[in-house]
Amino acid sequence: MLSGRSSGTPGTEDRGPTIQAISWSLGILSTILLFLRIYTRLRVSAQDTAALVWAIVAWALTVTSQVVGAFAIKYGLGQHMNAVEQSGEVGNFLLWSWIAIFIFHVYVPLGKVAAASFLIAVHAGARQCPELFIEDFADFPTYQDPKRRYLLHFIAYSNVILEIPNWFIIWFSCSPPSALWNPLEQEKCHVIWNVNYSIFLGSWQATSDFVLALLPIYLIWPLQMDRKVKLGLCCLMGLGVFAAVCTIMRTIYTPQIMAKDVSYVVSNLIMWGAAEQWIVLIAISVPPTWPLFRPLALRTLSKLSRHKKSETPRQKLQIAHLGIVEDARSSFFQERSHLKDAISLSSFPTQPKQAFHTKEEMDPFTDDAQMNVPRDTSKQLD
């Protein structure tokens, strides 16, 4: 629990600017990608509406959390507790910090819901999936497996349900609740409740991030497409792995809210939490914008392939296979041509025939009984 007690630790270090730089840098990138996603939805694809709405809601909560966090930094977040006490802003620091943390915990499950909604949309519209422009999805039956759709629903619902108790734990872990931001009443707060439940919740959220990141890779990898394109799509769809790493780090730093020099050491928790917020939004905004970058990516891959000096063993094997097939094809047509020539030379007379009255008479494979030719003429053909 954030505490207002001083440890007497000297020092003037301030991690506030670092938190701001990381948060707003990732925030700008996330905002650009979100607008590109909106543009893709309006101009390119009519899909992804529900997932886009969830992403916009999550983005709004994240921006609100960052703004509130900026006030917490203004009043001492990132500085040593003795410096905050000297400034007389301990109460404001605690209040704005807890408001930012509460908004963060409201956002976290919505970020998972937004990610799961996008994957559910891809799953449900596998045969009409303009978000990714992968025609191979139409022939990929595992996308229609209802078990994966149930798994995505379970991840979304479970994150929301498990997060709701934490909202009450934050505000009612102190008696009275106003002790939460009162530095003189911090001993009335039950710190261990918040820490234990936050560690359990962070573990489940990290697991959810890994599943949401790896499930698309598991689905995309068996598709029959260019390997470079496949790797690119797997990277795009698997960006959630970085969010999972941030969630793990945030969970590891959770016990620091019990520290005496809390305004300084808790900055690690805040920093990883802010990175987690934005990276989740980046991870769920990049794949839907693939149609905008696909032509450029394919042209780049094509140029790289043309300028490649040597072929890989796999490419050499493919080239050899194509050469064998082409040689066999050429040999087949040559043999067929020789056979036709042999039949023509053995069937037709060397001297022009004097009288052929019908088309059937000119067919060398027609029986003599079916030809309107005298018997002696038939012998002449031999």
* Interatomic CA distance for residues 108 and 163, integer angstroms: 8
Residue position matching structure tokens 């040597």: 310
pLDDT in tens, 264-279: 988 898 999 999 989 9
pLDDT digits (tens, 9 = 90+) for 29-72: 999 999 998 988 888 766 668 888 999 999 999 999 999 999 99
Residue 235 pLDDT > 70? yes
- Yes or no: say if 5 and 260 are a contact pair by the CB < 8 Å rule: yes
For 4, 76, 183, 205, 356, the CA distances from 86, given in Å and listed in that order, are 12, 10, 13, 38, 121
pLDDT of residue 30: 93
Rounded-to-integer distance, Cα 169 and Cα 175, Å: 11
> Residues near 149 by Cβ (< 8 Å), separated by ≥ 6?
120, 123, 124
Check residues 296 and 157 and name the one with the higher pLDDT: 157
Q: How far is it, in rounded angstroms, from Cα 197 to Cα 27? A: 28
Q: Is the pLDDT of residue 353 over 50?
A: no
For residues 277 and 84, what is the distance between their CA atoms, to the nearest angstrom? Answer: 27
Summarised one tens digit per residue, pLDDT across range 124-152 is 654 444 334 344 343 344 445 678 888 98
**Residue 159 pLDDT class (50, 70, 90 cuts):** very high
pTM above 0.75, yes or no: no
List, in sequence order, every residue forming a beta bridge with 189; answer none if it has no partner.
174
